[in-house]
Structure 1
Amino acid sequence: MFPQLKHISNTKRSILIIGIVVLLAITFETFQQLYYIRRYELGDGITFFALLKTQAYRWIIWLMLSFILIGYIRTRVSRKKTTQSILKLIGLIISLVILNIFIIALSSALFSNHTFSITDLLSEYIPFFTYQKAPIYTLGYIAISMILYLYFENEKLQIEVQELSELKSTNSKLYKQLSAQVDEKSTILNIKIGNKRKIIPVAHISWIEADDYCVKVHTTNSKTYTMRSSLKALEEKLSANFLRVHRKAIVNMDLAKELHLANASNVILHDDTKIPVSKSNLKTVKDFLDQY
């Protein structure tokens, strides 16, 4: 909506927003008072700008006292929120509102056309401004408290995110250094059987057979387990001695004893299991065996 605000820091943006809100509040209250004065004929010759001047200095006093609230919230934002801390904040807001009303009542009494009187101050000015200003001043301080709390919490979170980002970067470098030295291939397969998990050492797997959307894991003890996975996914996880010999089979070549090339090619395992080798994978199998 306001792309130019993106280039302003969060602090300046917050100050700008508060300033705009205060300006709108002053303008609204000025129009409101002007309406009542003209509607009920409470005075003659009173202009919008004359009222605006009066409202402005009162809101400036309110804004200046709000810095006490800003300082208080800044020092408390990192602490644990308790009932006592909330009551202290409410007490501070009430105190600031009372101080506001006293200051503007005193200034109005001093600069009025009448002789200053303590009696008038207590019986007329303070009750009048309490009725007129206390609700809106209180709401204003509550709004500022909420905005400031969210702002300082966001500021704290940004610092933590930055620290985590730096930690992540450091850990990423360490991971890359370690991964160059450590074999990432799986040493076990974790297979779900009912409500249990079966842990099978990779060294005990003789071959793996594709079965629709699952695979059958054949082990050296002649047991077979069904696993929800694909051959491609397992091929990437298993060590180099597991070769894809067919589109439907992966073989643990450490357990292979023969390769038959007559007619249809087959790998023969130690338990005499025959596993077909496809033409496209035959060269890979030969190259593997040629290493030994």
Structure 2
Amino acid sequence: MMIITILIMAITFETLQQLFYIKRFNLAQDVSFFSVLKTQSYRWLIWLLLSTFLVWFSKKNASHKQKSSLVLKNAVLIFSLVFTNILIISISQIWLTNDSFSFSNLVGEYMTFFAFQKAPVYTLGYIAITIILQLYFANEKLQIQVQKLSEIKKTDSHTYNDLVKDIDEKATILNIKIGNKRKIIPVETISWIEADDYCVKVHTINNDSYTMRSSLKALEEKLSTNFLRVHRKAIVNMTMAKELNLSNSPNLILNNNIEISVSKSNLKTVKDFLS
């Protein structure tokens, strides 16, 4: 739509310009806008037909990376098209007026005249079309890439949803900061975890203990289902439990004989797990 608008504006401007010169210098009588437009319509048709080379070139180079090189190529193409336009309409004008054809007459009279008369508006028209086409085809390429990315996203989303059913996203390690270092604790080596003020104390099967800035609730959500909240102050790796003592004060006895209190509110959960 913009190209059509530019074309109409260029033709209107150039026709009004010719009409002004005709009337200003009394070159003809009873000349109207449409009569001038009719006499030069074939010239604009030639200009329009040659502009198809710009469409082809712009589409071909829409994804061109080197901008400076592309500008130079566009400039050469536009110059060539303007020159071709002037050459064709000069030859056509010689033929229409039945003037004698000679190289000196073609170059010295007709091409020189049309170069001054047509070249500026032809050049500006081609430049405007080139800019519009470059933006249009670059946007088209971008839309295609966006569509491909959207399809990839959908595919990956479906794949993720299929895989997540079979993948345990629970933590396999705990990353504990000790001074300026980090201690990596494999989850399977943890026997139990106890609350310690605003931190937790992680106990391992090697009887080592590490303080970690976290909460039992946060760790309970991260750890696998083998880790059970048995007390408001304790989480136990149930694979390390060897016995449940159901005395007045229930407790779990671990493989290393550590006793962990089990609250009455969590006793049923522990029983269900063990059963």
Q: Could you say whether these structures have the same fold, taking a TM-score greater than 0.5 normalized by the shorter chain as the test?
A: yes
For residues 18 and 234 of structure 2, the distance between their equivalents in structure 1, rounded to whole angstroms, comes to 86
Residue 219 of structure 1 deviates from its aligned partner by 4.2
Find 1:180's aligned residue among 165, 169, 186: 165
In structure 1, the residue corresponding to 2:212 is in which secondary structure? strand
Q: Percent same amino acid among aligned pairs?
A: 48
CA shift for structure 1 position 96: 0.9
Instruction: Indicate the structure whose relative CO is greater, using CA pairs within 8 Å and at least 6 residues apart.
Output: 2
SS in 2 for 1:200: strand
**In the alignment, does 2:134 pair up with 1:146?**
no
Gaps of at least 5 residues in structure 1 are: 1-15
1:290 equivalent in structure 2: 272
CA distance in 2, matches of 1:63, 1:42: 28
CA distance in structure 1 between the aligned counterparts of 2:27 and 2:219, rounded to whole angstroms: 87
Alpha-carbon offset, residue 87 of structure 1: 4.0
Partner residue, 1:225? 212
The within-5 A match list for 1:211-250 is 216=200, 218-220=202-204, 221-226=208-213, 234-243=219-228
Query: Cα 1:61–1:238, aligned 2, differ >3 Å: closer, same or farther?
Result: farther
TM-score by length of 1: 0.67
Q: Name the amino acid aligned to 2:210.
A: K
- Using the TM superposition, give the Cα deviation of residue 99 of structure 1 relative to its aligned residue in structure 2, in angstroms: 0.3
- CA distance in 2 between partners of 1:56 and 1:233 (Å): 79
Please say which of residues 199-208 and 22-31 is displaced more in the overlay.
199-208
Residues 145/237 of structure 1: CA separation in 2 closer, same or farther (3 Å cut): farther
Name which of structure 1's ranges 250-259 and 172-181 shifts more when overlaid on structure 2: 250-259
Separation of aligned partners in 2, 1:217 and 1:52: 92
Alignment CA distance shift 1:208-1:116 (3 Å): farther
Q: Which moved more, 1:215-224 or 1:38-47?
A: 38-47
Q: Write the letter of the residue equivalent to 1:71.
A: W
User: 1:120-159: per-residue Cα shift (whole Å, max 9, x none)?
Assistant: 4322332232223323323333333333333333333433
In the aligned structure 1, how far is the partner of 2:245 from the partner of 2:37?
98
What RMSD, in angstroms, separates the aligned Cα atoms of the two structures?
4.1
Deviation of the 1:189 alpha carbon: 3.4
Deviations 1:243-281 (A, max 9, x none): 4567x8672443567689979x9988879687896x8xx
Secondary structure class of the residue paired with 1:59: helix
Larger Rg: 2
User: Does the 8 Å CA contact 2:229/2:235 hold for their aligned counterparts?
Assistant: yes
TM-score w.r.t. length of structure 2:
0.71
How far, CA to CA, are the matches of 2:176 and 2:209 in structure 1?
16
2:99 paired residue among 115, 130, 138: 115
Q: Structure 1 residues 203, 95: CA separation in 2 closer, same or farther (over 3 Å shift)?
A: same
Residues 62 and 137 in structure 1, CA contact (< 8 A), matched pair in contact too: yes
Alignment equivalent of 1:53, drawn from 6, 23, 38: 38
Q: How big is each residue's C-alpha offset from its partner over 1:101-130, in whole Å with a ceiling of 9 and x where there is no partner? A: 212233334334x73454443223322322
In the TM superposition, 1:39-188 aligns within 5 A as 44-54=29-39, 56-77=41-62, 81=66, 87-112=72-97, 115-118=99-102, 119-188=104-173
Which 5+ residue runs of structure 2 have no aligned equivalent?
none
State the aligned residue count: 266
